[in-house]
Each structure stands twice: as structure tokens, then as C-alpha cells.
Amino acid sequence: MAEDQATRYPLLLVPGMLGFVRLGFYPYWFGIVKALRRGGAQVYPVMVSAMHSTEVRGEQLLAAIDEILRETGAQKVNLIGHSHGALTSRYVAARHPERVASVTSVAGPNHGSELADYLERRFPLGSFGNGVLNVVLGVSVWLLGLLETGYRGPRLPMDIDASHMSLTTRGVEQFNRQYPQGLPQTWGGQGEELVNGVRYYSWSGTLQPGRSNKGSNRFDGSNLTCRLFAHAFAHEREQCDGMVGRYSSHLGTVIGSDYPLDHFDIVNQHFGMVGKGADPVGLFMQHAGRLKASGL
């Protein structure tokens, strides 16, 4: 059997907001875990609070890392975080670099999300709209917990307002002042790849008429959702995936930030229905090979 993705250290996949491991038989990382394991990688989709601050989620991730290190005997892990999972992974790597070989941000809001900023303006804390939105999100988290079959640990706490603040430009600016590892020095540039022994990488996508809205995405309602959310963007208008801006996603070595992928496509959601010519699973396979070639 080919071992092209057999990295030295285990791969931990960290989900974003409203994330899960598996709902019934349906995984968050659709087709990705199976493909990586076929390539010889040790892969662990982990669970953190579906909605909470980056710091709380980071402490939960740290506990999961310690458990996996004990289980495998490995000295470090490779962290791959989608969306808020990227910030969560960055927190752990900054606080405990000795346990992390690499951090890879996949559509991570490393400079904040303009969508989160829009929602903060539209539904300010304490407003009626904010209350309604929190109820809807709270019910969503409850349903996810009810359907979750891939996580059997203790019940994880929820704080919707803290989660939202962690994703705003203002919240991420505060986070970045404490944990700047891998951030570009100039807007749209690349960051330092190796910091405190941890390698940093990123990739992301953008909505591209004629590509990201074609193929199977014609039948995927989440692509329409991303196209609607994209109207909230001003600074990175026409340069976003519907939830995160292209240049806001940059961290460390930027593998690419203009793949024809919306915010859900990039983790092969939903049911692998993606735009014309897109190959999100292939990006994960190539990256595992990249990590292996780097001795990670």
C-alpha cells in the first residue's frame, strides 16, 4: 500500500464554528479522513466546543492533543484547522510549541471575518435581533450534540457571544497581538513559515462565477448561502469564500488563496458537491505529502 501521506506525526483535524466529528454516519471532513488514511496517515478528527472563544476551544484542543500523544506515543502533532479551527490551532501552537510540529490554516479568519463584523453591526449585543440569532444558534448547537456520534467525551460548554467576538476583526486583532506567530507583515503577503519550531501553512478559496457556482455546486444550497453572505464583505468584496476574505486567511507559507472553493467546499461539504474542477480532498492529500517531505 502506498504511504505517500504517512506523516511522521499524527494529523489532527480541528473543525470550525458549529463543527462536529460525525453526525450519524456523516463526517465533517467528508471523504478527507478516509483518503488520508488510505495514504498511510494517522488521522484524528477532534472535537471542541461548537461555539466558544478561541481560548476555551484551544484549551480543549490541548487536552485532546495530550490524549492522542499518550495513545500514539508521538512527541508532536500536525494541526489542520478549518475556519475557527485555525485560530484554535494557532492558540495551542503559540502556547505549547513543543507539542506541535505544524499548523495549517484552511480558510481561517486570521485577520477576522467581515461577515462576523456585519453581524455585530446588524445585531449588536443586547438587541432583540441578537437574542433571536442566539436562540437559533443555540438550538443548532443542541441539535448537533443530539446527532453527534463521533465524539464520546464530556459535554462541551457553549458561549455564542464569545464565539462571535473571537471571529470579528476587532476580536482577532486582540488575539493576534498575543499570538502573532506566522502572520504576514504586510497585507496579502506571506508569513514566516518556521516560528519556535512550528511550521505554519495556509490555503483558502474564493467565490468565482463560472467555476465555484458550477459543477455539483449548482445543487448545493450551501454555495448559495455563501454567495449571499459575500454581500456582507466590503474590504475584500469579490475576494472571499462567503465567510472569510482571501487575504485575511493568509498565514505562514500560503499554498494558495484563490482556489475556486467556497467556505464549505474547502472541507468537501456537502456530500462532496463542489464547483467545477475543484478538488478539496486532493489539497489535503498533497499537503500531507508536503508535511511528510518536510520530516513532519
DSSP symbol at 148: B
Q: How far apart are CA 94 and CA 103, in angstroms?
A: 10
The single residue of 220, 241, 262, 265 carrying the catalytic annotation is 241
Query: Known catalytic residue: 265?
Result: no
State the cell numbers at 21: 466529528
Q: How far is CA 186 from CA 110, 151, 190, 193, in A?
A: 13, 39, 8, 15
Read off the DSSP letter of residue 217: G
Which listed residue (84, 164, 263, 287) is catalytic? 263
Cell triple for residue 1?
A: 500500500
Is residue 83 part of the annotated active site? The answer reads yes
Contact assessment for residue 10 and residue 43, using Cβ atoms and an 8 Å cutoff: yes
Catalytic residue check, 216: no
CA atoms within 13 A on the CB side of 195: 20
DSSP string, 165-211: HHHSHHHHHHHHHH--TT-BSSTT--B-SEETTEEEEEEEE---TTT
What is the bridge-based pairing of β-strands 198-205 and 253-259? parallel
Instruction: Provide the annotated active-site residues.
Output: 83, 241, 263
